[in-house]
Amino acid sequence: MKQMHNFNAGPCVLPREAVESAIEAIRNFDNTGIGLLEISHRTPGWERIMAETEQLWRELLNIPEEYEVLFLGGGASTQFFHVPANLLNKKAAYLQTGVWAKKAAKEAKFYGDVEIVASSEDKNYTYIPKNFTIPTDADYFHITTNNTIYGTEIRYDMDCPINLVADMSSDIMSRPVDVKKYALIYGGAQKNVGPAGVTFVIVRKDVLGKVERPLQTMVDYRTHIGTEAKNKSMFNTPPVFAIFVMHETLKWVKKMGGVEAMNKRNVEKATLLYNEIDRNSMFVGTAEKEDRSIMNVCFVMADKYKDKEADFMAYAKECGMVGIKGHRSVGGFRASIYNACPLESVQALVKCMQDFEAANK
């Protein structure tokens, strides 16, 4: 079989060893003779996986005691309304850096006033707005740290005078994060920490229980925190398969040297690819340089070569590139180079761009 290079935006490439141990666990979980998909989530072996997974999160991101780490269903899109349900009393502030951010703000409007502090919609979200003022009378300020579709990223932990909430779906575990600067961090696992099916929520306990509205049992984060450690994130049946693969993925992150090492690797991969985009006369990057994401690299054909787009796509496919078609709202190409994407894949893409230039310029 020809070697494939997986640049899918999500679900995306996983560490090979996480996939291999998932296959084994489906056959025989924890030497029980029974498969992972067929065990009770109340078995001690599973409770150990849950506890270890939380521990890995705490260790890798250095999550302080006063924060809870939850694994829920419903994807990041469900958090778009869980967050305001739990935290919004009167008003929330949102930074609109893409359609995910816009969708998050839309759901918050069911619960109160929403102030869009700044938006980059005027330039199709190709940059991160600067010099905005965060209203101090809002209950929280919501940001999307990595804009998966447009390839822009807020790659630092900002100072915020009110509770800071972040959708980190597509850059969690790609760099060290100062968790203390956030009241709540959430995201779907399928971009950088596992397969689809599990959503992570890291929440500082003291922000909960402050809203006046009654909450449905499943919407209230406190339900999932529970009163006993062994029941955490197990109020109802947890997505065991997705959590298991996340556990294996985080073990790999740890083995590779943790989030510092991931950051170094990711910067190296992104630099290599952006350098080629900037050097190669046939391509141009779509995001403002200073806001470029290290996770999703978006580029299009240069004006002069617009008619070559289909040719490059076909050539890239021939070279084993998978998932590089850009999102329909940006066009062109997008290479998602998450943690588990190997440097060799980025090198192969760069070579493919160079060879295409040599043959077509």
Give the bridge partners for 347, in sequence order: none
Q: How far is the CB of 246 from ligand PLP (least distance, A)?
A: 13
d(CA 33, CA 129): 54
| Mode of pairing for the β-strands spanning 5-6 and 321-322 | parallel
- From the candidates 46, 57, 171, 191, give the one annotated as an active-site residue: 191
Out of 7, 10, 125, 350, name the contact with ligand PLP by CB under 6 A: 10
Report the distance separating Cα 118 and Cα 97, nearest Å: 8
Q: Is 206 a catalytic residue?
A: no
Per CB under 6 A, the segment of 57-65, 162-170, 176-184, 222-230 that binds ligand PLP is 162-170
Distance in Å, CB of 66 to ligand PLP, minimum:
25
Residue 325 buriedness (CB in 10 A; 0-12 / 13-18 / 19+): middle
Stretch that binds ligand PLP, among 165-173, 207-215, 260-268, 284-292 (CB under 6 A): 165-173
Burial class (CB in 10 A: 0-12, 13-18, 19+), 141: buried
Any binding-site annotation on 217?
no
Backbone angles phi, psi at 148, to 5 degrees: -50, -40
Residue 226: strand, helix, or coil: coil
Task: Note whether 118 and 129 are within 8 A (CB).
Answer: yes
Closest contact distance (angstroms) between CB of 247 and ligand PLP is 18
Least separation in angstroms between residue 74's CB and ligand PLP is: 7
Q: What residues numbered 76-135 form the site for ligand PLP, per CB under 6 A? A: 76-77, 100
Q: Which residues contact 128 (CB under 8 A, 6 or more apart)?
A: 97, 120, 152, 153, 154, 288, 291
Binding mask 17-36 for ligand PLP (x = CB under 6 A): --------------------
151 binding ligand PLP? (CB under 6 A) = no
Catalytic residues: 100, 167, 191
Please enumerate, by residue number, every residue annotated as part of a binding site for pyridoxal 5'-phosphate: 76-77, 100, 148, 167, 190, 236-237
